[in-house]
Amino acid sequence: MKNPLHRREKAVGRARLRKNKSARYPIERSPLWKLTSTHRLAALIDVPVGELEAICMAPTYNRFLDQPKPGKEPRNIQEPTEATLRIHYRLVKYLDCIQRPEFLHSATKKRSHITNARAHLESGGAVVAMDIRKFFESTTYHHVKSFFHKDLGCSLDVARLLATVCTADGHLPTGSCISPLLSYFTHRRLFSEIEALCLEKCVTMTLYVDDLTLSGVCATKTLMFQIKALIQRQGLQTQSAKDAVIRPGKPAIITGTIRRDGTLRLRNMHHNSIVAIQNRIAQGETRPGNELRGRVASARAIEPPAAARLEARLDKIIRGQS
């Protein structure tokens, strides 16, 4: 169980991010742009300058195996703690203020896996889906240092400190608030190259963390292999088992939803998970809680009529118990 101080630090960090007005300015206006002074870095991340190197060069993490969903393998989680956690939240606040492209739907306010899927409703044609294998673990210290040094123009000393405090075991930590956004920025040149290739072929492209989705008349296997080659050139790999090319007119799974006949539909597993919770409520094994509310809210955003039917079913169950 997490200690109260750890929970408080996470709550404070999340509150700051909620207040942040994201995507306000180009990268050249970021406070991190061409940062060469360790004194300035210490001020930005609120660390005493005399302790800056010691703290950044020895980041602290809580390491554990997560509880996987059925059929999934457990993952090694590296969750930042103490000063490292505070620094990650402060850095992600600065990254959050940098403009992002329209194709990015993760780690961005007012965008989600649902807006990611909705972007492909009008494109028609086939759907091509790829998944970058172990994206965070494959984004190395050297990738991150290169972003801070070459893309943000930080000095080598500053880039070294930032890359060290932002990585665990030589890669992006799997349990940090900074990883979803920093993984995009670290590989932003790759994704810009993929976008340019898609625009040339009038193909819609979206990215949600490690899920890359293409749709349109020219979304083909040939294009998929061209993009896979670009990804491999960057030192990343795709999961061949998750590659998919769905023909026009066929239902397509896109980031947890189904595109069918020009609309989004709930997946059966999403619908059934809500029904299962409701059944436990009907049997008196549990009460309506945050898990159910979250799943129903997600269902409402995807397919409102289906969510309404599920809510009516819950109301009937509760009335029957009173």
Interval 309-314 mean pLDDT? 95
The type of residue at 285 is E
Cα 86 to Cα 138: distance, rounded to the nearest angstrom: 24
Interval 174-197 mean pLDDT? 97
Express each pLDDT in 262-283 by its tens digit.
999 999 999 999 999 999 999 9
Express each pLDDT in 68-77 by its tens digit.
777 678 899 9
> Residue 14: pLDDT above 80?
no
Instruction: Compute the 3-state secondary structure of the chain and give helix, strand, coil in percent, each to the nearest 5.
Output: 50, 15, 35
pLDDT for res 72: 76
pLDDT for res 255: 96
**pLDDT confidence band for 24 (50 / 70 / 90):** confident
Domain range annotation of the chain: 4-98+140-178, 104-138+187-260, 266-321
Alpha-carbon dihedral of residues 259, 260, 266, 267, nearest 10 degrees? Answer: -80
Closest C-alpha among 191, 226, 162, 197 to residue 104: 191
**pLDDT confidence band for 22 (50 / 70 / 90):** low
pLDDT for res 1: 47
pLDDT for res 124: 81
Cα 151 to Cα 290: distance, rounded to the nearest angstrom: 41
Helix boundaries (H) for the chain: 4-19, 38-44, 52-57, 82-96, 113-118, 135-138, 141-146, 156-165, 179-186, 188-200, 221-233, 268-282, 290-302, 304-321
Give the other-Cβ count within 10 Å of 129's Cβ.
Answer: 20
Biggest CA-to-CA distance, the chain: 67
Opening angle at CA 180, ends 56 and 274, nearest 5: 135
pLDDT for res 18: 66
Interval 210-235 mean pLDDT? 96
> Residue 42: pLDDT above 60?
yes
Cα 224 to Cα 130: distance, rounded to the nearest angstrom: 8
Interval 45-53 mean pLDDT? 96
> Strand 76-80 vs strand 61-65: parallel, antiparallel, or unpaired?
antiparallel
pLDDT for res 13: 66
Q: Identify the CATH class of 104-138+187-260.
A: alpha beta
